[in-house]
A and B are shown apart, each in its own frame.
Chain A
Amino acid sequence: MSPRRTHTGGRIDRLKTIRFTFDGVAYTGHAGDTLASALLANGVTLFGRSFKYHRPRGLLTAGVEEPNALVTVLKGEVREPNIPATMVEIHDGLVAVSQNRFPSLAWDVNAVNQLGGKILSAGFYYKTFMGPVFGPLKGTRFWMFCEHFIRRAAGLGSAGSAKDPARYERMNAFCDVLVVGAGPAGLMAAKAAADQGARVMLADLEPRFGGSANWSDETIDGVPAADWARRTVAQFEGRDNIRLLPRTTVWGYYDNNTLAALERVSDHKEQPAKGEPRHRYWAIRAKSVVLATGAFERPLVFPGNDRPGVMLAHAAERYANEFGVLPGERIALFTNNDSAYRTAVALKKAGAAVVAIADVRPELSAEMRKLATEAEAEIFAGHAIVATEGGKALSGVKVQRFDMVTGALSGDARSIHADCLLMSGGWSPTIHLASQAGAKAEWNEALQAFLPPKPTQKWAGAGAFNGHFRTLEAILDGRNAGLSAVGATVTPMAYPSIESLPCDPSPAPVFEIRAKGKSFVDFQHDVTADDVRLAHREGFVSVEHLKRYTTLGMATDQGKSSNIPGLAIMAEALGKPIPEVGTTRFRPPFAPVSIGSLAAERFGDLKPDRLTPMHDWHVDNGATMYSAGLWYRPMIYGLAGETVEQAYVREAKATRESAGIVDVSTLGKIAVQGPDAAAFLDRVYTNMFSTLAVGKARYGLMLREDGFAFDDGTTWRLGEQDFLMTTTTANAGKVMQHLEYFLDVIWPELKVHVTSVTDEWAGAAIGGPKARQILAACVTGTAVDDATLPFMGIVRGEIADVPVMICRLSFSGEMAFEVYCGAGHGTHVWEALIEAGKPFGLVAYGLEALGTMRIEKGHVTGAEIDGRTTARDLHLDWMLSKKKPFIGSAMMDREGLIAADRLELVGLISLDNRPLNGGAHIVEEVDEANPHGSIGHITACCYSPALGKHIALALVKGGKARHGTRAHVSDPLRNRFGPVEIVSNHFYDPEGTRMHG
């Protein structure tokens, strides 16, 4: 066993040896170790490099607030950067590497940055790199040149691009009480609430519940605190009203007591169990919350306080008592409060030599002196550490007389040999979640800390979170909070008997020792006390300016240890009390959260796939599928060796020559039913529907309230009070909401019900000169001749024994029919149609051919109804009824909507016989070098087999008046320029003789 390892105690299992590597070196540790404790036990002191100066850094803490010891964990190609070594539980095969160093952690060339110290002070970026005003590096170029190198020097770990094969999971949970933090306060709160029968969730970010009880050396009711905690937790196990969430960080406090938590389910395992996610994201809706999140110990700010071997006092206590690791052999302490004396005793007991305790307070209580004696430590009351010595590991400290009122140092500095310096600058309650919930913290002068304020949401605090640092207070607090969280009366309880060392929680108001040398406030971002003073000098005095100008508190630890010292130094510079400088509002997350967990099941599966009932048939029959919103639709059914254009030209041609069939199941379909359905449609559509006969369909246009075109489609009158509305695929949801809004909010008196039936119907459109014959060959129960099924007529019948509804309407411009059947029978009916069509040369066609034929006909779709066009722009003004008001009718004639230079729908014919491009612009005169003078753009284009030309639909300024004139396409993006003729958008069969048959 390593010399740093104690022989007994702690949470580690000394019988289980774990093998892992760090920076390629093999180490061993024990089950229960963190990467930090295991490396510390192996004598490692150098863990990382700081952000700006690349200074060597060791462990500052033992927990989530660690700013220095960040590592990348590797799982094959998958990288997890910036993880505090204090939060990595080791397992066999763990591979971790250090970061932000080159070529190695021990020898980092960027450490040269330290030489630039005073120049690289706060805000230096803003004052330089503007570069020359002329020459090749003028403008932004010089900065971008410098930035290239700055970016490479900055940054911590590297992200990978390999897809993470791990699974992430999301859970929605509901409970009566969520207890955050499972120290003595949290355990008691959970117990009290659960005993009342409440549904309780108890979360703690550490693997083992107990919080400070795991390392405090206290006894509760006669047993070591850690055992007390274990027993308390054991009582919870097996109870069905309490869910225990170890390794779970509650990171967000959102509205209405919605809290977000991250459970690290299997990071600590070599292999997750079958089906086990890596992380589980909990969205917890709690009726009430108990915040028992404890407190963070603060560092002191003094020269050399960042040298590896300088650590927070309680962290050393944790390493010794919880992990059985001594952070050093000759330990010095530096404190402004009593809690470090407890640490001294604990480390002495664990086997270290405690060589000195420097305390800024000139007067020490007899109790503290007694503890120092117990630790066999020399006391330096009214002293401060003014320097640390050593390179990548601490070798000694300098202590000097210090006047805590004036901050003055006097007398000679004395060197003390030590390999570890522990510091304690007092404690800050972990009020982050309360702050996120909207509450503003209040300064407590005695504790020199911000305490949580009155709750703004339903939460109660307990223990150190409340500034109640004693275990007895925590236990009482916790019970009270647990009871009041469930609305139970708080009854007196028998006080537990607690044996603990004396400790006055009030620190001396000392945050910084001003002496020569770099004194770090924010360790990771290398923000020094001088940087804070420079910010003050330059007027960046509000706490937010301080943060933004110096980057104080912006590192991965989010200022958990640096906020208050930084604030205190600014307050001193301003000559104001700390609360007047203010505190920043904490925002989610409390600690960094894996992005994988937040995406959870949607990782790799962002949105649902919408497939039509005939999807498999399309795929089996050679369709190339096209993603349209969430839908997949056939683009072409290509034959071997065919290009996309060859395929759609073949399909369109075949349709116009014999017949084609296309899947139209994606069209939005809304059942509009009720006594007032017809009246409602008259208000919704610009044209009249109340006059529509039962058994007939009509093409309709809708406007938005603001008078612009919204959507179009056919609506079928199936009965007196029963309509089936179709919408464009893209707008199905929007139209549905539009209708519901008007029925619910504007016209509640109308007796109409709307139901989305898009997924209930399968639809196929079959068109072409042979279409009617094909239907006649397979439809039973009805005739399909012109008399029975006239244009826009509807009949019901059967195809292959399946009831169908057939409407004779045409998008392709051919004699065409839409056949609808129940979605479950879609493929059956489709195949029957295909079979019936075989003798007639029926082809299945895709979106490309559909688009081609609609362009030839000049029909509009979403590319033209783009939210900016009016009915007039699209030559649909014939549909604007003058007999009735309708949605948008009052607004459609405003000045901007009838201006002469509006974009209007036209057709274009390529005059150079070359293809046109979607998104190309139209100009009167081509200027390839300096394109300008756009008068419009192409919305859709194709090669028209019917015309034998490349054609397009376009929106062109004053387009109608330009029919018969020449213009040019101007597509500088694709270098396509050329002449076009502007024509009517109705290219093909404008009289509609083919579809009327």
Chain B
Amino acid sequence: MLITCPYCGPRDVIEFTYQGDGNRERPDPASQNFEAWNAYVYDRLNPAGDHNEIWQHSGGCRTHLRVVRNTLTHEISSVAFVRGDHASGARRKAEDRS
């Protein structure tokens, strides 16, 4: 499986660390909404089909990527930096290189 890191280009899955369901929302740090905390920590979307997930390019630039990947075929339809601001800057960089 290859993941195209927006910064580093297409790289083998061995360079990446899976960080799971990218739909989870962390409550505000001071939140006392335990339902929300529990859902964030323990409950996962686990679709058979396209899945929005977080991967870290741990063997590369170490940024976190939001990857939409099909769990039935392993086909990847999109990859973007999780960190929005960072993304635009880095994309420019990648374009400069190409």
Contact = CB atoms under 8 A, between A and B. Distances in A.
A binds B: yes
Interface of A: 254-256, 258, 283, 285, 438, 456, 683, 705-706, 737, 740-741, 744-746, 748, 885-886, 889-891, 894
B64 A740 contact: yes
Contacts of A746: 26
A890 B34 contact: yes
A258 B37 contact: no
B1 A256 contact: yes
Given A258-B12, A740-B56, A894-B34, 12 more contacts: A258-B1, A456-B73, A741-B19, A741-B56, A744-B63, A744-B64, A748-B83, A885-B29, A890-B27, A890-B29, A890-B32, A890-B34
Contacts of A889: 29
A173 to B, nearest CB: 12
B85 interface: yes
B37 A741 contact: no
A737 B58 contact: yes
B79 interface: no
Contacts of B31: 890
Nearest to B86: A748
B89 interface: no
A198 to B, nearest CB: 18
Interface residues of B, number: 33
A886 B29 CA distance: 7
B41 to A, nearest CB: 5
A633 B91 CA distance: 43
Nearest to A174: B10
Given A744-B63, A746-B26, A891-B37, A254 B1 contact: yes
Which 9 A-B pairs give the minimum distances between C-beta atoms? A255-B1, A885-B29, A256-B2, A744-B64, A748-B83, A255-B74, A890-B37, A885-B30, A745-B82
Given A255-B2, A258-B2, A890-B27, A745 B83 contact: yes
A741 B24 CA distance: 13
B5 interface: no
Contact of A740 (B27, B62, B73): B62
7 contacts: A258-B12, A683-B29, A705-B41, A745-B82, A746-B26, A748-B85, A748-B86
A744 B54 CA distance: 11
A884 to B, nearest CB: 8
A125 B62 CA distance: 54
A874 B64 CA distance: 33
B77 to A, nearest CB: 13
Contacts of B12: 258, 283, 285
Nearest to B87: A748
A886 to B, nearest CB: 8
B50 to A, nearest CB: 15
A894 B64 CA distance: 30
Contact of A741 (B64, B73, B85): B64
A438 B83 contact: no
B19 A745 contact: yes
Nearest to B74: A255
Nearest to B4: A256
Interface in B1-50: 1-2, 10, 12-13, 17, 19, 26-27, 29-32, 34, 37-38, 40-42
Nearest to B37: A890
Contacts of B41: 705-706, 891
Contacts of A737: 17, 56, 58
Interface in B66-88: 73-74, 76, 82-86
Nearest to A257: B2
B84 A748 contact: yes
B56 to A, nearest CB: 7
Given A744-B82, A745-B83, A438 B64 contact: no
A461 B69 CA distance: 27
Contacts of B85: 748
Nearest to B13: A255
B82 to A, nearest CB: 5
Nearest to B81: A744
Contacts of A706: 41-42
Contacts of B64: 740-741, 744-745
B33 to A, nearest CB: 9
Contacts of B40: 705
A891 B37 CA distance: 7
A430 to B, nearest CB: 23
Nearest to A733: B58
Contacts of B63: 744
A283 B12 CA distance: 11
A745 B31 CA distance: 18
Contacts of B73: 438, 456
A152 B6 CA distance: 56
B76 to A, nearest CB: 8
A828 to B, nearest CB: 32
Nearest to B72: A438
Contacts of B17: 737
A705 B42 CA distance: 10
A258 B63 CA distance: 24
A740 B40 CA distance: 18
Nearest to A744: B64
Nearest to A893: B34
Contact of B2 (A285, A438, A744): A285
A80 B95 CA distance: 51
Contacts of A254: 1
Contacts of B62: 740
Contacts of A741: 19, 56, 64
B90 to A, nearest CB: 12
Residue from B29, B31, B32, B84 with most neighbouring chain A CB atoms (10 Å) = B29
Nearest to B38: A891
Contacts of B42: 706
B88 to A, nearest CB: 12
A170 to B, nearest CB: 12
A706 B64 CA distance: 21
Contacts of A285: 2, 10, 12
Nearest to B64: A744
A741 B64 CA distance: 7
B1 to A, nearest CB: 4
Nearest to A886: B29
Nearest to A890: B37
A254 B82 CA distance: 27
Contacts of A894: 34
B74 A744 contact: no
A453 to B, nearest CB: 15
Nearest to B26: A746
Contacts of A705: 40-41
A897 to B, nearest CB: 12
A745 B41 CA distance: 15
Contacts of A744: 56, 63-64, 82-83, 86
Nearest to B32: A890
Contacts of B38: 891
Contacts of A886: 29
A456 B73 CA distance: 9
A885 B1 CA distance: 39
A705 B56 CA distance: 18
B38 to A, nearest CB: 8
Nearest to A172: B12
Contacts of A283: 12
A753 to B, nearest CB: 11
A891 B73 CA distance: 36
Nearest to B85: A748
B92 to A, nearest CB: 18
Nearest to B84: A748
A256 B67 CA distance: 15
A758 to B, nearest CB: 15
Contacts of B83: 744-745, 748
A892 to B, nearest CB: 11
Contacts of A255: 1-2, 13, 74
Nearest to B29: A885
Nearest to B17: A737
A740 B57 CA distance: 11
